[in-house]
Amino acid sequence: MPTLSRKWSPTHSPDSGVDELVQRIAGRNAHLYQRDVENIFSAILDEIAAGFARGDQVELRGIGVFSVRHRKARTGRNPRTGVHVQLDQRRFPFFKASKEMVWRLNPEPRSETIPPPSVAV
């Protein structure tokens, strides 16, 4: 199975991973136009971003939960000069994979007594 590019290179745009994903989905679904897949994908990303802006968490069952985390204000240090600087509080996106996604990534048998969730393929 081919993987999406994970490394940045000067010849690829920042959206090259998204472009590859859209092409793969459109290729697997011949009844969909690539522009329709792009619109659907953009709508999903827009909803996740809107949830972040509201401070909500966005759950995609079987995939995981996207949420916003907060970093408190603190004193940092410039690594080049060693000067201490005050850093403001920050919000940042956080993703927690679902149990089903973890089981897909690690399918080998477990010693745990919890059975894997049903995985629809």
Containing domain of residue 40, as a range? 14-55
pLDDT at 108 (0 to 100): 77
Residue 80 and residue 46 in one domain: no
Question: Does a structural domain hold residue 39?
Answer: yes
Q: At residue 32, does pLDDT exceed 70?
A: yes
Residue 29 and residue 65 in one domain: no
Helices (H), 1-121: 16-28, 34-54, 99-105
Burial bucket for residue 22 (CB in 10 Å: 0-12, 13-18, 19+): buried
pLDDT at 80 (0 to 100): 95
Question: Does a structural domain hold residue 4?
Answer: no
pTM here is 0.61
Give me the number of domains the chain comprises. 2
Question: Does a structural domain hold residue 35?
Answer: yes
Q: For the chain, what percent of residues have pLDDT higher than 70?
A: 76
pLDDT at 19 (0 to 100): 86
Residue 99 and residue 63 in one domain: yes
Residue 31 and residue 50 in one domain: yes
